Amino acid sequence: MSLTGMALQFEPGYPPAQIIQARAALVARDHESASGLAMGLLDDPGMRPAALEILGRVALQQQQWTQALAHFEALAVALPQSALGPYWLGVARFREGNPAAAQDHLMLAHRRNPSPRIASALVDVLISTEQWDSAAQLAGGYTKADSALERGLGHAWLGGVQRAKGDLEGAAKSYRAAVQEQPDRIAYTLAAADLLIDLQRFEQASALLDQASMKAPQHRLLQFKRAYLAQLAGNAAAAEQGYRSVLQRDPDWALPLLNLSEVVAADAGRSLESMELAERAARLAPRWMAAHWNLAQRAHEAENGEMARAAAMRVIELDPQHAGARAMLEAGNGNAG
């Protein structure tokens, strides 16, 4: 039993233990338990702000914007000088699609507490509204911070601004600077590698991924990205080995299955194997259009017309305007609807 569970067992009415339990339920997306525990504490003045935050976040997870905003507005009233209420109001407004209101709330929150968490949300809003200079200025301030953590964040935010503007060169440079500040943050490495791949700088991307893999050899995204890079570079053997290594530990991941089917399909003598891999990927991701289109292509190559038609029809269900699937069905005298 957890310490929280023990606390509730021996002191079931102990408010701090109930808040901890409610937060744990929130993280587990157990909305009923989180709401029930929080509702029981609304009349406790000392616990009311924490309870309102939990209730608002439950509503946020459920995309119940009106309820979330009501709870966060009450939180702002309960803590009138705190950044917490404006922060969550900004997050809720942004997620419901109102970036202008979100910006007002987040700027107030940032004035009260210029923390990285609040700054990150504000940068996202500024990027979404294409306020490039304001976003870059906010990010740039963090690149000069005293701590490596905040400098890394600043470079990463700046990279996000540059990528959104279409400046891939600048974004790659910024994300690599973030990696230098915090080499253990795999997200920075992956972002930098993606940009280098887009710029077709495969050797630089490979070196970056190899370096990170030495520190995190079991990280599945790093392994996947290295296999993908080998695929792009035309090294089928390394790509296949990499994808199979990923799938050995995560056999139900559709993306490497799809890519592996593409690699195997390059060998004309392995068309049946390629189709079977594609079928597994499509079965694991029933609403992923790309997986079904890949299956249609692999089945066509394996001369399995029935499966190819069925997969193409599924593509049309998910994307009625898919030109490739329609052409395949028309060529086979199928009916695309």
Q: pLDDT by residue (tens digit) across 120-133? A: 999 999 999 999 99
Q: What number is the average pLDDT over the span 226-240?
A: 95
| CA proximity to 264, closest of 227, 289, 292 | 227
Mean pLDDT of the chain: 93
Residue 332 has pLDDT above 80, yes or no: no
Q: Is 321 helix (H, G, I), strand (E, B) or coil?
A: coil
CA 22 to chain centre: 25
Helices 148-165 and 168-181 pack at an angle, to 10 degrees, of 170
Residue 254 has pLDDT above 70, yes or no: yes
The predicted structure's pLDDT at residue 14: 53
Asked if 262 and 297 touch (Cβ cutoff 8 Å), the reply is no
pLDDT tens digits along 186-200: 999 999 999 999 999
Which residues does 292 contact at the CB level (< 8 Å), separation at least 6?
Answer: 282, 311, 312, 314, 315, 318
Q: What's the whole-model pTM score?
A: 0.83
Q: How confident is the model at residue 7 (pLDDT cuts 50, 70, 90)?
A: very low
The predicted structure's pLDDT at residue 111: 97
Residue 1 has pLDDT above 90, yes or no: no
Q: How confident is the model at residue 336 (pLDDT cuts 50, 70, 90)?
A: very low
Phi, psi of 30 (to 5 degrees): -90, 80
| CA proximity to 322, closest of 302, 299, 294, 298 | 294
Q: What number is the average pLDDT over the span 321-337?
A: 79
DSSP at 97: T
Token pair recorded at residue 16: 């701090």
Asked if 176 and 208 touch (Cβ cutoff 8 Å), the reply is yes
Kindly state the percentage of the chain with pLDDT values over 70: 94
pLDDT tens digits along 49-94: 999 999 999 999 999 999 999 999 999 999 999 999 999 999 999 9
Residue 6 has pLDDT above 90, yes or no: no
The predicted structure's pLDDT at residue 17: 86
pLDDT tens digits along 24-44: 999 999 999 999 999 999 999
Amino acid at 124: D
